[in-house]
Structure 1
């Protein structure tokens, strides 16, 4: 019976999915389009896989915002989908300016995303193994 313990441990360890810490930071946009109501009041909604990580503050009257918020997800997995949705905040209905989606990878990364309605979203993220 004792000889089967190493085999069971091997099987169980192969079922464990490696989790990592995702840190998203340095979100900024350039050349966001103006609306009928004037200059863009931009913000970004952030999710990773099924987890909603939150949203940035609204940057009023700024076509080139830089958001100071950082987002962390402790149970991210390599190849999870990072989704960033850029909106223009309005009184009645917030306009979706574009969506950036990317499968995350280990390491440090910076990406540019060209938004459907104009403008560019730039962001950085790190994905690394958790240390216990």
Structure 2
């Protein structure tokens, strides 16, 4: 039985949760609504688990914005929750247009989510 110990330790070590790189890219929105104030000045804030991944630039006066920025997180794990928040920048207080949230899986995935305040948000992510 003592000879099985090194093998058991090796098996247990391979079962630990591996960290992987998460990349979020190709972010765009369509038909955003900012209410009576005109066209939105939209931007996105990204999170993975408790980690903040950053914020995009603001796309002024555009109801169909496209962001060039990518978000990268090097300590992501499969089944972590990724959260993308879409905001309309205003003087004093920014309005939350909607949130896209999901558990991440290995591979490359394209998604669309419908925002609470109208419009939709499209993005692609890779975990690997």
Count of residues in Structure 1 that have an aligned counterpart in Structure 2: 127
1:12 aligns with 2:42: no
Map of 1:15-54 to 2, 5 A cutoff? 16-54=16-54
Give 5+ residue unaligned stretches, structure 1: none
Instruction: Kindly state the Cα deviation for residue 21 of structure 1 after the two structures are TM-superposed.
Output: 1.2
Moved more, 27-36 or 119-128: 27-36
- Specify the SS of the correspondent of 1:92: coil
- Specify the SS of the correspondent of 1:44: strand
- Separation (CA, whole Å) in 1 of partners of 2:9 and 2:111: 42
- Separation (CA, whole Å) in 2 of partners of 1:9 and 1:111: 37
Structure 1 runs (4+) greater than 3 angstroms displaced: none
Map of 1:1-132 to 2, 5 A cutoff? 3=3, 4-14=5-15, 16-128=16-128
> Could you state the TM-score of these two structures normalised by the residue count of structure 2?
0.91
**Superimposed CA distance per residue, residues 63-119 of structure 1 (whole angstroms, 9 cap, x where no aligned partner):** 110000001111111111110000000110000000110111111111111000001
- Specify the SS of the correspondent of 2:24: strand
- Separation (CA, whole Å) in 2 of partners of 1:112 and 1:59: 19
- Separation (CA, whole Å) in 1 of partners of 2:102 and 2:34: 26
- Specify the SS of the correspondent of 1:12: helix
- Separation (CA, whole Å) in 2 of partners of 1:27 and 1:17: 28
- Separation (CA, whole Å) in 2 of partners of 1:76 and 1:32: 30
